[in-house]
Structure 1
Amino acid sequence: MAELDKFDRRILALLQMDARISSELIAAEVGLSATAVQRRIKKLREDGVILAQVVVLEPRALGRGVTALVEVTLAEASREAVIDGFKRRMAEQAEVQQCYYVAGESDFVLIVTAVDMADYELLTRRLFFDDSNIKKFRSTFVLEASKRSLSLPVDPIDIDRR
């Protein structure tokens, strides 16, 4: 992974706040030319630092009133092919917003959306009940999202704070 300097970190911070911000505005904020900012953003994409620039939508505005955190335990989680297969299958599901392979009691934690509880039940039947390798799953339902973000801190880690 590429080393990030103060300019890269400031550019990333600004893009996280508003992915539509122009190169000219970023340049004015960080003290570089717009061309230099564009080159840096291109390199950050090529280096895999910027994975995507997305729009965050309000689920309820799209009729998706249910958000659930789902812990999934596989019956057979020791084979790489099984784990990779589950990851691929979850990546293909539009209702699965995020999928994390985790250590602990469960093998995966998912964030999923549904229209309502009936829709959620159909989703669980399709994703979990029809998969013989799902040992169990546990759902926790979101009452209110007090923070919804994919932003990361971009400041360099201060070794003295540890």
Structure 2
Amino acid sequence: MDGIDRKILAELQVDGRLSVTELGARVGLTVSPTHRRVRDLETSGAITGYRAVVDPRALGLGFEALVFVTMTQEDRTTLLAFEEAVAAVPNVLQGQRLFGDPDYLLRVRTADLDAYARLEDDVLSTLPGVQRLNSTLVMKSFVLDRPYPTDLR
């Protein structure tokens, strides 16, 4: 990956709907080499997809919680079953396995506190291997979906 590829990635992270013509103009290439590079970045897996960024409040999901999960046991079968079950919960936007304690961090969106309480009581606490859930309620988000840095200084 060279500097032009990094510029392409920087531009597409900000606006994934750029035309190849506009993208080429921004990175100093004509249409054909720009198209080839984008295709190569997609094929290599550097670009994994395109999506619309949606305001969660527009969907009625104005409440966010960070949920720290401590497991009862950490054998492979239990961890895989937990991760598979979490992946099936639509309100979990992000799940990360951590080193140390706690074992997992989940980012969850619901309509409100009552909906979150029901989700925790009826779904999250019943997932395979869960010993303890510790929730932190998000007061305010101020850095969201920031593009990855492409300039390696």
TM-score by length of structure 2 reads 0.92
Identity %: 31
Structure-2 change in CA distance of 1:90 and 1:150 (3 Å): farther
What's the offset of the Cα at 1:85?
2.2
What's the offset of the Cα at 1:82?
2.0
Match of 2:117 in 1: 121
Gaps of 5+ in 1: none
Query: Matches of 1:83 and 1:151 in 2, distance apart?
Result: 30
Match of 1:26 in 2: 23
Moved over 3 A (4+): none
Query: Matches of 2:81 and 2:40 in 1, distance apart?
Result: 32
Query: 1:1-150, aligned counterparts within 5 Å?
Result: 4-77=1-74, 79-131=75-127, 133-150=129-146
Which has the bigger relative contact order, CA under 8 A and spacing at least 6?
2
Query: Matches of 1:80 and 1:50 in 2, distance apart?
Result: 30
Query: Matches of 2:137 and 2:97 in 1, distance apart?
Result: 20
Query: Matches of 2:37 and 2:123 in 1, distance apart?
Result: 41
Query: Matches of 1:104 and 1:117 in 2, distance apart?
Result: 28
Structure-2 change in CA distance of 1:81 and 1:49 (3 Å): farther
What's the offset of the Cα at 1:47?
1.5
State the secondary structure of the residue aligned to 2:123: helix
Gaps of 5+ in 2: none
Query: Matches of 2:122 and 2:36 in 1, distance apart?
Result: 45
Letter in 1 for 2:15: D
Point out the more displaced range, 128-137 or 55-64. Answer: 128-137
Query: Matches of 2:50 and 2:119 in 1, distance apart?
Result: 28
Asked if the contact 2:69/2:104 (under 8 Å) is kept, the reply is yes
State the secondary structure of the residue aligned to 2:10: helix
What's the offset of the Cα at 1:150?
4.6
C-alpha distance after superposition, 1:65-100 (max 9, x if no partner): 1111111111111x2232222222222221111111
State the secondary structure of the residue aligned to 1:135: strand
Letter in 2 for 1:39: R
What's the offset of the Cα at 1:138?
0.8
Structure-2 change in CA distance of 1:8 and 1:134 (3 Å): same
